[in-house]
Structure 1
Amino acid sequence: MQIELTQAPFPKAPTLLLIAGLGGMGSYWLPQRAALAEHYQLVVYDQRGTGVNKQPLPNDYCLPDMAQEIHTAMLQQGITHYSVLGHALGGLVAMQLALDYPAAIDKLAIINGWLQLNAHTRRCFAVRETLLQDSGPAAYLQAQPLFLYPADWMAANQPRLEAEEAMHNAHFQGQENLTRRLNALKAADFHATAARIQQQVLVICSRDDLLVPWIFSEELHNALPNSLLEIMPWGGHACNVTAASDCNQRLLSFLVTEPTYLKEII
């Protein structure tokens, strides 16, 4: 698996792994890179089946596979200890890493994550799957921003959305790979295992997230023994993109400094 390592900002700088959501592309983290790269050596990658790592995925592809392949890639680079920032599906992979390789993982930051896919989010994905199967990738990608961004942000950023749609069409991961990655997401369930995650975890959510309502981040926070929940007032599912400055400030406050309190809501 190909991964990208940024230059360490100072000798012996800690490492931070960034894991995108269902889209899988490392470019998703562009709004965070400059801010985080001042404090961490960053590891960014296209997930298996997407981007530069595009290859057919097996039918039984699952979350432990996603965790194992990136952890192996980290070890191949000589990285044995790191923190993880994940968005949605990426947050699930972050928790799987903490469960499967606890000695390697320092802190976790999870943006708009969950314990198990809820009925509302499952309905949203069902609509998207129907579009993909019945109308094809172009229709699926045309509808995708509706689930990611607030309406007012979309109305003000139409040229950007059109450029993103063209880029995603050009680099689409393929219907089979997307379906198999989505099936892995839908099968994930941390209800019985979240209490085993002992790392400090920042759970960030947006109150206006259409795809994953904020109450499911609250549920995740309540299940984790050492977590902090921060609820952003606006930003949608991709709040790290639409409200990048606010999100970055919250991330840095948690990642760079030692929290003095946990199990609280901000």
Structure 2
Amino acid sequence: MPHANGGDADLYYEVHGSGPAIVLSAGMGGSGAFWRPQLEALSRRHTVILYDHAGTGRSARDVGPRSIAEMARDITRVLDAAGIADAHVVGHAIGGIVGMELALAAPERVRSLTVVNGWGKADAFLRRCFEVRTGILRCSGPRAYVRAQPLFLYPPRWIAENIAALEEEEAHMVAHFPGEDTMLQRINTFLAFEGGARLNAIRVPTLLAAARDDALVPFYLSGQLARAIPGARLAEVDFGAHAFTAVTPDVFNAMLLDFCGETDR
């Protein structure tokens, strides 16, 4: 499988399908595999690029602390390696923060921006959620951290109905965990992000996709982003929680395809 080589970290990426490009940037875990529920539907119309963030997955691991600006440049390195001039940039949570940074730093590479359950500034509620998660990681280790993760990502009923698949996924995630130091560095970096007045300078077409039942990143934070980014469109779903892209993939896929198609037209 290809890597974007050079720079300070080799980045694993995959290219699927054909058509206008979409690059998908994962959330806290950093793995491109997060987007598997989107792959088939999107690749029918688009060139779809999945990649693992530096320090995670199959990308270079021992990269040390990484700034959001560096993570945004990583997307351009992946696009360059794939021979793609510009793409619809889609980011989940912290992947959305990276997408916003890229839209500010290199708007010519961004056909459109989609931020899924993101934020422009972490408030007291979000900080407390991550305080609990980091406490679990520090005190009980990666296995306990991964064990607790579905409680922050998915609706309770969906967890109950998909427990067998979650148990299987849990073993895989523990085996491929980025490492305690890397995860803590990532959490600290993104909690420190404050878009502020800079977000007003984003001029690419922007979709803010958010779930009203997200218990980790509250829906109102997407509303704040909508007021900060000129012309941003806020699209909401009632069910699916923080990872509604996996819980109700058909809903998200249709939403994204409509937005990208409208932008391309």
What TM-score bracket applies, with the shorter chain setting the length? over 0.9
Tell me the amino acid that sits aligned with residue 111 of structure 2: D
Q: For residue 19 of structure 1, what is the aligned residue in structure 2?
A: 25
Tell me the amino acid that sits aligned with residue 239 of structure 1: F
Cα distance per residue 1:134-153 (max 9 Å; x no partner) = 11111111000000000010
How many Å apart are 1:192 and its aligned residue? 1.8
Q: For residue 263 of structure 1, what is the aligned residue in structure 2?
A: none
Indicate whether 1:5 and 2:15 are aligned.
yes
Moved more, 74-83 or 125-134: 74-83
Of 215, 223, 228, which residue of structure 2 is paired with 1:218?
223
CA 1:3–1:243: 2 relative to 1, 3 Å: same
Q: Give the alignment's Cα RMSD to 1 decimal.
A: 1.4
**Contact 2:113/2:205 (8 A) holds in 1:** yes
Gaps in structure 1 of 5+ consecutive residues: 261-266
How many Å apart are 1:70 and its aligned residue? 2.2
Q: For residue 114 of structure 2, what is the aligned residue in structure 1?
A: 109
**Contact 1:18/1:29 (8 A) holds in 2:** yes
- % identical equivalent positions: 38
**Contact 1:207/1:231 (8 A) holds in 2:** yes
Q: For residue 252 of structure 2, what is the aligned residue in structure 1?
A: 247
Give the TM-score normalised by the residue count of structure 1: 0.93
Tell me the amino acid that sits aligned with residue 33 of structure 2: S
Tell me the amino acid that sits aligned with residue 14 of structure 2: E
SS of residue matched to 2:197: coil
Q: For residue 37 of structure 1, what is the aligned residue in structure 2?
A: 43
CA 1:259–1:75: 2 relative to 1, 3 Å: closer
Cα distance per residue 1:17-70 (max 9 Å; x no partner) = 0000001110100111111111110110111101111411323x2100111122
**Contact 1:202/1:230 (8 A) holds in 2:** yes
How many Å apart are 1:7 and its aligned residue? 3.5
Moved more, 14-23 or 240-249: 240-249
Tell me the amino acid that sits aligned with residue 49 of structure 2: V
Q: Structure 1: how far apart are the matches of 2:253 and 2:20?
A: 17
Tell me the amino acid that sits aligned with residue 83 of structure 1: H
Q: For residue 165 of structure 1, what is the aligned residue in structure 2?
A: 170
**Contact 1:5/1:43 (8 A) holds in 2:** yes
Q: Structure 2: how far apart are the matches of 1:133 and 1:57?
A: 20
Cα distance per residue 1:125-173 (max 9 Å; x no partner) = 1101001001111111100000000001001111011011111001000
**Contact 1:110/1:203 (8 A) holds in 2:** yes
**Contact 1:39/1:256 (8 A) holds in 2:** no
How many Å apart are 1:231 and its aligned residue? 1.0
Point out 4+ residue stretches in structure 1 off by more than 6 angstroms: none
Of 62, 84, 91, which residue of structure 2 is paired with 1:86?
91
**Contact 1:207/1:234 (8 A) holds in 2:** yes
**Contact 1:3/1:46 (8 A) holds in 2:** yes
Tell me the amino acid that sits aligned with residue 244 of structure 1: P
SS of residue matched to 2:12: coil
How many Å apart are 1:73 and its aligned residue? 2.5
Q: Count the aligned residue pairs.
A: 255
Q: For residue 70 of structure 1, what is the aligned residue in structure 2?
A: 75
How many Å apart are 1:179 and its aligned residue? 1.1
Indicate whether 1:51 and 2:61 are aligned.
no
CA 1:57–1:180: 2 relative to 1, 3 Å: farther
Q: Structure 2: how far apart are the matches of 1:77 and 1:232?
A: 33
Q: Structure 2: how far apart are the matches of 1:151 and 1:171?
A: 25
Matches of residues 223-234 of structure 1 in structure 2 within 5 Å?
A: 223-234=228-239
Q: Structure 1: how far apart are the matches of 2:127 and 2:205?
A: 28
Cα distance per residue 1:183-218 (max 9 Å; x no partner) = 211121111211100011110100100001100001
How many Å apart are 1:257 and its aligned residue? 2.1
